[in-house]
Each structure stands twice: as structure tokens, then as C-alpha cells.
Amino acid sequence: MFIPIHFTPSSSSSSKLPPALAQISHDEVVLIELNGALEVECTSDYERDGKVVGRLVVDANGKSAPTLAIGHHLLEGKLAALPKPLAVLRRVTASESESNPMDVDMDCDPPPPAPDATQLDEATSVSWDALAIVKRKIVFLKRPTPIMPARVGAL
């Protein structure tokens, strides 16, 4: 079975990346690697959408280390090249329009069973759009440093 994957030209300014991707320049997307887990309080999966978790600061010319501030903690990272580039893909079905958000699977589900004849017909109407190529990552390996709030009247 062949699944079509469409690449858009990188020079087109109309391709807008989903806001969940970390973008360090106008045309580069990076992967963020954390040592641990982020826990966001929510009652349903859709409550996490659009929540600000932290503030990422990356120097454009790469002279200082990237930092990530989450609450009262500061993480210091480093930029590293990926051994193999990764593609960010968006699933597009025949009935879907271009304005729908990126299809993200938040759960780790087991692989689906082998398709039968009716499922093969549905699979032929699915294609994938390549949104970006990820070549670098920001790695945060060290423990976070506590940030102390500035006291009023301190010298």
C-alpha cells in the first residue's frame, strides 16, 4: 500500500506551523527533550490545548544556552543535532479541509488489527502533508534550578 506524502516548498510564506511546535527562527523547528515529565492539571484531554507551560528563551546566534522557565524552576539546555532528521506530518483525509489543526495522538494505543477490504478503501483516501523537517533538538538534562522571587526592599 502506498500512502501519499506531500511536501510544500519551504519558500512559501502561507504554510503556518501548528503553535505546539517549538520554533526557534522563522524557518526552523526543533524538538524539545526533557528528562522527566510535565504534569498539567486538567479534567479532560482538551483542557491542555493552548495552556502555557513555561517560557523558552533561545539566543538567535547560539552564543548562550537555551533556558526554559517553568513556574519557579529554571532549566538550562543545549542545542544538539539529531542523528537522523525527523518529519512533522499532518494526516489529511479526503473530507478534511486545510484549516483543521494537526492530528495529534496523545495516548499510546496498540497497533490496529490488519485491515480488511473495506478499510483498504478508506486508507486510499488518506494522505499526509509534511509541515516541517526537524534537524536539531534542545536537550535539558540537568536538574532544574529554583528561581527565588525578588523581595521588595532588598538591597
- Mean pLDDT to the nearest integer, 90-114: 59
* pLDDT given for residue 153 in this prediction: 58
Rounded Cα–Cα distance for residues 13 and 15 (Å): 6
**141 is in which domain, residue-wise?**
20-86+134-146
Q: How confident is the model at residue 98 (pLDDT cuts 50, 70, 90)?
A: very low
Residue 72 lies in a domain: yes
Global confidence as pTM: 0.61
Q: Give, for 82, the enclosing helix (H) or strand (E).
A: strand 78-93
Q: Give, for 29, the enclosing helix (H) or strand (E).
A: strand 29-34
Residue 141 lies in a domain: yes
Structurally, the chain folds into a number of domains equal to 1
Residue 76 pLDDT greater than 90, yes or no: yes
Q: How confident is the model at residue 12 (pLDDT cuts 50, 70, 90)?
A: very low
Decide which of 47 and 19 is more confident.
47
In the chain, the amino acid numbered 64 is S
